[in-house]
Structure 1
Amino acid sequence: MALERAAPRSGSVTTETDALQPSAMRRLACAALDWWGLEALSDDIVLVISELVTNALQHGGGCTGLCLTHNAGGSVRVEVSQRTRCRPRVRRGDAEDERGRGLLIVSTLADAWGVGEAGESVWCMLSAPAGEAS
């Protein structure tokens, strides 16, 4: 695990091990957001990480990494890497379904989201509320 700060209010946090549990990834994200002064994004980013990591574990052969990048203007890029090159898609579950809404939640919360060119990762961007971007 590494926390880098290249300049005030910028940097990245990256973990690259499939031994990390989703709860550890969520704690790391909260610590990074606190460090960057973006606590207002914590709830949404924690939920997005939970959904993307769960998708990687259930459909992508396992989660191999989490990368958070704080960009100029207060946006944060969340990227979760997975073992396989499976390209996820948004599903619309029935009211009785217990699963299948993860990417729908991500697409609702994020300003943008996508899949790595080879399907090795899923990423999304979230912006800080007005007045909290740095």
Structure 2
Amino acid sequence: MSLSLSSYLFLIKPKGCGNQTIQCGKHSSWEMGMFYLSIYLIALGNGGYQPNIATFGADQFDEEHSKEGHNKVAFFSYFYLALNFGQLFSNTILVYFEDEGMWALGFWLSAGCAFAALILFLVGTPRYRHFKPSGNPLA
């Protein structure tokens, strides 16, 4: 959300320009700092959950039960399908918005998708299996 706001408020249309003859004014260091902080927060957030999603999903199924073993295969099929739909969305629709100069709309759509994913995760939280860590993680 901070990336959407900083892009919309500061970066889309800089001060002092609007036609082909006048040079655009430079952004303040605060505006640029907010933009880069937003990008770094996105990278930090993705680094926290991205490598753990598949493992967390696999932990939800007990392979000793045949039905759950089948559900585990289905989970990874749907997981892969969702990843591909996300790539299709980002490489087509978001690129179209970028080409048309609608950066803020692209960022807001991305933020909306992330919010929808968070809601889906939180709705399912009571049904998730939580395992207590055991053993030595280094051995």
**TM-score scaled by length of structure 2:** 0.26
Q: Which has the higher strand share?
A: 1
Larger radius of gyration: 2
Report which of the two has the higher share of helix. Answer: 2
